Amino acid sequence: MIRNRCVAGAARWAMCSLVLAILAEPVAWGTMDSDPAAAQRLDRLVRAARTFNYDATFVYHHDGKMDEMRIIHRYANGEERERLVTLSGSTREVLRDQAKVTCIIPDDQTVVVGKSRPQSVYGTPVLTASGYREHYRLTLLGAARTAGRSAEIISIEPRDLFRYGYRLWLDEQTGLLLRSELRDPAGKILESVVYTNLATPETIPDSLLRPEISGNGFSWYTTLDSMELPKRSSKWAPGWLPKGFSMREREETPLPSGKMPLEHLVYGDGLASLSIYVEQLPKSAPALIGASRMGAVNAFGAMIGEFQLTVVGEVPLETVRKVAQSIDYRG
């Protein structure tokens, strides 16, 4: 079903497509000032992750498992292309260019294609607005050595319990990521990324950006025909959001004849984000009620009449639960 594909797809993007993050000790909550030097380093990371050529391998720890992965990123003529491929366990590939993201999943015999959105190098938060600094404290913690290179450590601590915190090790020479950790508000490590090799070649050939798996004979799912809509025109709205979260995007995906489109609402604070999916269910279809989790991605499902509401995000479970239970129809 489309609903199930959306929930699973959102979780897969979190694992497959380049959005993780970091924190290393229990957070001291409060309205503390950020370190300007840390903000400068983070801005440098975002620029470097977009404009450098790099070919890197890393180890991704999550859910008691370990995946070895390789990421190849090219920036040429003002455009980015990127390929992420697993080196251990089940084969997966993610390819991204300016227009679309393609996730190839041989275990499920599926290929999922969606629109390209702001991304950053695997293991770092996606920064889409400067306002996030009002809801996190940025601190420059000092120097360290990792992956055989000198690094600077940045801590990003949330000011409340409704979002995750981050800790980043940044290469002094390039500003690129060398290591990251993600912990929940209680201090539990949810995910970590440790780079074992980082190269920054002057050029990257097309051959390194082509998938090894063609996807021929697989089931293909796409949201490329989704239509962006005015943000204020939705009849569905959450009555509660963490402070600083606002609607960043709204779109509808056409469904087979006779069914209402799948509505997708995206909310964020400039760093963390969550999605709300709204789908009208047939009477015979099973509903998704309650919580589920994949890695650091939490989901919570609820029903309003015949409509399935699913909230998905790389935020604590309490956040998606409160958002889901506050959604109301305002038609």
Q: Supply the pLDDT for residue 252.
A: 81
| Domain identity same for 49 and 179 | yes
| Four-CA torsion 25, 29, 35, 36, nearest 10 degrees | 120
pLDDT for the residue numbered 119: 52
Query: Tens digits of per-residue pLDDT, 97-147?
Result: 988 889 999 988 999 888 776 554 455 555 555 567 788 989 999 999 999
Tally the domains of the chain: 2
Distance CA 185, CA 26 (A): 7
- The low-confidence residues of the chain, meaning pLDDT below 50, are 1-32, 120-121
Q: What is the DSSP letter of 232?
A: G
Residue 97 sits in the same domain as residue 194: yes
Both 12 and 90 in one domain: the answer is yes
Residue 7 in domain: yes
- The Cα 187–Cα 65 span in angstroms is 19
- 60 and 178 fall within a common domain: yes
CA pair distance 118, 120, nearest whole angstrom: 7
**Residue 94 and residue 102: Cα distance in Å, rounded?**
6
Question: What is the reported pTM?
Answer: 0.80
Q: Do the Cβ atoms of 3 and 308 come closer than 8 Å?
A: yes
**Interstrand relation of 65-76 and 54-62 (parallel, antiparallel or unpaired):** antiparallel
Q: Domain range spanning residue 164?
A: 2-209
Q: Is the dihedral of CA 117, 121, 124, 128 positive or negative?
A: negative
Q: In this structure, are residues 64 and 89 in contact, taking their beta carbons and an 8 Å threshold?
A: no
Residues 254 and 117 in one domain: no
Same domain for 198 and 315? Answer: no
Residue 307 placed within a domain = yes
